[in-house]
Amino acid sequence: MKIHDLPLQWYERPQYRPLLPAQGEGRWFILSREELALRRLDAADCESRASGGVADRAGLAAAIENTYEDWGLPRAPEAAAGIERLGRDETLCVVTGQQPGFLGGPLYVLYKALTSIALARWVEERYGRACVPVFWVAGEDHDIDEVRTARFPGGESAVFSLPHPAGRAPLSSLPIDPASEAVIEEFISHVSSRPHSDTVGELAGQYRGRTVASGFAALLASLLGGHGLVFIDPEKLRPLSRPLVRQCIERPAELIERLEDGSRELEDAGLKPFVSSRLPLFLVRDGRRDHLAPTENGLAIDGGGPRFDRQELLEELEENPGSFSPGALLRPLIQDYLLPSVATVGGPAEAGYFSQMGPFSKWLGVEKPRLVLRFQGTTLAGEGRRAWSELNADTGRLAAALCPEDLVDLDEDHGELEEVRGIRERLASLDEARAGERTGSRGLERGRRTARESLARLENRIRKLRARGDADAWKNASSCWEELLPGGKLQERRWGYLHLIADHGTDWLERIIEEIGKDPFSLSHRLLEFES
């Protein structure tokens, strides 16, 4: 496998939003705001986190042991060593997490896990600190529609979905029933002719006899446990999170004020809030996970549901802490309260909502998690890689391309393009000549702007027509583009990764870990070129 760093221009495509100004140009927001993600981690950071301790290290170690026992997770020697080390004082961890998906979830889930492994190794090697990568399996989430479908290259025949109806049940309680197992068998049959189909069959088979959450964890534990990745079911940690949940129940109005403060801070930075300013707490009862909202004397199920007196809820918290489940803004703070995490690995979405939790974290008395952006990559394999090779396009053209036509090498001296370019240059000269004059009428300015935009559209149209006129080049460009951005979506969010394992085995995973370890704080997007 070859790994190429793409120019940062890759992030200027419409799939990345929002954009903020950066040195006079539009840039993907995480590249514009250094405070949104860590760019370095030093020995003092590690020392500070280690000396800060955690709420209950023995309880944490017991919760991890219970996760492996209750879920029946594969326990590689490297993972077992990590679990033992987490029970010791001053051991640090790098934490990442995700709501459980079907057939391992999308590609970015794998990137999160590999980044946490690489960063934990980096901390150990650079600072001599014991550091364990930990994956937080957010099985308490209930949105099955968000995670039920696994997609792979091959069109509609490569789409596999869990048959469970939508509801409020946590994913940790949804069983892989006979109908679900039939979908798994369909997927295994789909990859049966691939060189490493047996490996993929074993991974997909980890879901059998488990729930959506424990099956997801078992697949990743089987795949990455040998790299030291440790898994935890946060539901096992609910008794340890009582102090934070109690504060949310006792003072919900203050909590929401702090969330609104965080939203205003984000708006002042030019971004829209990623998460609404509502109470980040759910009540789990009768197999449902329902959002709680403040009332005059307590809380109620959001949307006109039953009301609960504040004291009633506090008594329930003491007797049955498993009844309370955190939302998106509370979960990361519970993570850092209970785990000795020196950093949290996340993606663009986490960067967005982590940035709005500052006032909330101060109110809870928990330091805001330090976010490291996960590895980001796009793969080219098989037909897509062959097509890219035939196009003879470099990474600069690939990064700048906004449509498949942009991948085709055109003769820039072509008559029509040269003529349009000449008109644009003359218009630019006119603008420059008038720069020192008083501004003309608004109508004139609008007309000149419209002319510039029309010429740009005309030039783009000519380029597209000429690109499509070369049948072979257009075929290659279309094939390459569909693999790079399937369905117009970012590949790492659209496709899974088991097809790559079916074709290429698992050795390439260590190659990515090594690549991340060279600079865990890099913002580059990588092109992963799989050689046949």
Which of 60-69, 302-311, 388-397, 459-468 shows the lowest per-residue confidence on average (mean pLDDT)? 459-468
What the block records as the tokens of 376 is: 């980001």
What the block records as the tokens of 476 is: 């290659």
Give the CB-side neighbour count of residue 408, counting CA atoms within 13 A: 24
Beta bridge partners of 27: 20
Q: How far apart are CA 246 and CA 140, in angstroms?
A: 19
What are the residues whose beta carbons fall under 8 Å from the beta carbon of 225, sequence distance 6 or more?
Answer: 73, 74, 75, 76, 78, 79
What's the mean pLDDT when you consider all of the chain?
A: 89
Distances (CA, A) of 54 to 91, 171, 261, 279, 368: 10, 28, 27, 25, 14
User: Is the pLDDT at 22 greater than 60, yes or no?
Assistant: no
Q: How far apart are CA 248 and CA 116, in angstroms?
A: 30
User: Is the pLDDT at 32 greater than 80, yes or no?
Assistant: no
Q: How far apart are CA 183 and CA 181, in angstroms?
A: 5
Q: Give, in words, the CATH class of 52-241+330-374.
A: alpha beta
Q: How far apart are CA 85 and CA 68, in angstroms?
A: 16
What are the residues whose beta carbons fall under 8 Å from the beta carbon of 151, sequence distance 6 or more?
Answer: 158, 159, 160, 486, 494, 495, 496
Per-residue pLDDT at 26: 61
Alpha helices in 128-211 (DSSP H): 144-147, 178-190, 197-204
Per-residue pLDDT at 373: 95
Per-residue pLDDT at 402: 86
Per-residue pLDDT at 450: 75
What burial letters (b/e) apply to 90-115, b meaning 16+ CB within 10 Å? ebbbbbbbbbbbbbbbbbbbbbbbbb
At 451, the amino acid letter reads: A
Quick one: average pLDDT of 257-286? 89
User: Is the pLDDT at 276 greater than 80, yes or no?
Assistant: yes
Q: How would residue 188 be classed by pLDDT, with cut points 50, 70 and 90?
A: very high
Count the residues in the chain. 532
User: Is the pLDDT at 24 greater than 60, yes or no?
Assistant: no
Q: Which residue has the higher pLDDT, 229 or 427?
A: 229
**What residue spans define the domains of the chain?**
52-241+330-374, 379-431+449-529
Per-residue pLDDT at 33: 74
pLDDT in tens, 290-329: 999 999 888 999 988 899 999 999 999 999 999 999 999 9
Q: How far apart are CA 135 and CA 13, in angstroms?
A: 30
Per-residue pLDDT at 386: 93
